[in-house]
Amino acid sequence: MKTNPLVALGEAGQSPWIDYIHRGMIASGELARRIAEDGIRGVTSNPTIFEKAISSGHDYDDQIRALARGGATLLEAYKAIVTDDIRAAADVLRPVYDASRGDDGYVSLEVDPDLARDTKATIARARELFDAVGRPNVMIKIPGTKEGLPAVEETIAAGIPVNVTLIFSVRRYEEVAAAYLRGVERRIAAGGDPRSVASVASFFVSRIDTAVDALLLSTVERWPGSPKAETALSLLGKTAVASARLAYAKFRVIFDAPGWRPLAARGARVQRPLWASTGTKNPKYSDVKYVEELIGPDTVNTMPPQTMDAFRDHGVVADTLSGADAGAKAVLDDYALMEPGIEEVCSRLEKEGVGSFLDSYRKLLAAVEGRLKAASDG
């Protein structure tokens, strides 16, 4: 019998997480089944996922009616609904957490996106959410913005697991890893146990190709037949994977450096790269491109259900990260001939990502508000 490629990912050192959550998935046993059959080792959530779950179906009807009868405010209702789902998913994943000794088995819950540029408020909200869920296997998602970096350090130092999200550039990845290291050092210095603060650095992949490919095609249109146009054509669909591979190479260097070893000796965990936004958006590319091309030890890939189903069906597992940095650097060196530069592109993607999550968060609140009103009127 053919080995399930998703299970084979785990055997290759990469943890498959699912980028999806809704109450029916937990109550029906679907999440437990995916853990048992596909080797799923974690769950990520975001406002978009919750908005879709609450807006469709009837899984939340009873709770919303009870909240409406109890006079819950909009934010109280939102917090109750979301934390209940995260808590329930964390309970399903607890055996994975225990078996892996805290390496896996996490559910990620995002700090309110409207706080992305507010360091102090992000820190306070991270603590509030972690305490509200009341489970050790919850990672609080903090955006890897400039304002988010000190919040990452502070939250790690406080002993709260963190998923640093919305990372697009190799430079920002290095800053995120440095913030994690500072947090671990502070936790140890204060007498805390660093083993309780697992962390992942979520590097968003397909969005890079979507943005860069559009720029490359505009270059071809402006200078058809030129050497620059030929270079642009050769780079289509390559920039995202190259960036992620270089980030992985940096990860290997950072967590094998002399400064890391004393922390590791005290039980500190490496902050694993997590590949996010791995659903293929360009139909010309393989539907498992951002899984197959980013497989390697000590990594996580969080996939939307359709990508997970595609990889189960026809994914091929091989180490495509180790030793791939030279080729990745060559891709980005070629892209350096283009305009705008990769850092400018990534900065714009970060801004758009924060805006997109904020829009989804507002839609989520509107959906909860609408359901509350309907329950009250009924």
Which positions are annotated as active-site residues?
141
Say if residue 214 is exposed, middle or buried (CB neighbours under 10 Å; 0-12, 13-18, 19+).
exposed
- Look up residue 61 and give its two tokens: 């009807």
CA distances from 21 to 86, 343, 372 (A): 9, 32, 21
Rounded to an integer, what distance in angstroms lies between the CA atom of residue 202 and that of residue 276? 6
Rounded to an integer, what distance in angstroms lies between the CA atom of residue 59 and that of residue 26? 11
In whole angstroms, how large is the CA radius of gyration of the chain? 21
CA distances from 304 to 17, 49, 276, 289, 335 (A): 9, 10, 9, 13, 29
Rounded to an integer, what distance in angstroms lies between the CA atom of residue 300 and that of residue 13? 9
Rounded to an integer, what distance in angstroms lies between the CA atom of residue 239 and that of residue 220? 16
Residues written for the chain: 378
- Look up residue 155 and give its two tokens: 């939250």
Residue 202 forms beta bridges with which residues? 274
Reduce the DSSP state of residue 85 to 3 states and report it: helix
- Look up residue 109 and give its two tokens: 């819950």
For the beta carbon of residue 137, count every other beta carbon within 10 angstroms.
22
Reduce the DSSP state of residue 254 to 3 states and report it: helix
For the beta carbon of residue 237, count every other beta carbon within 10 angstroms.
18
- Is residue 52 within 8 A of residue 304, CB to CB? The reply is no
Rounded to an integer, what distance in angstroms lies between the CA atom of residue 284 and that of residue 301? 21
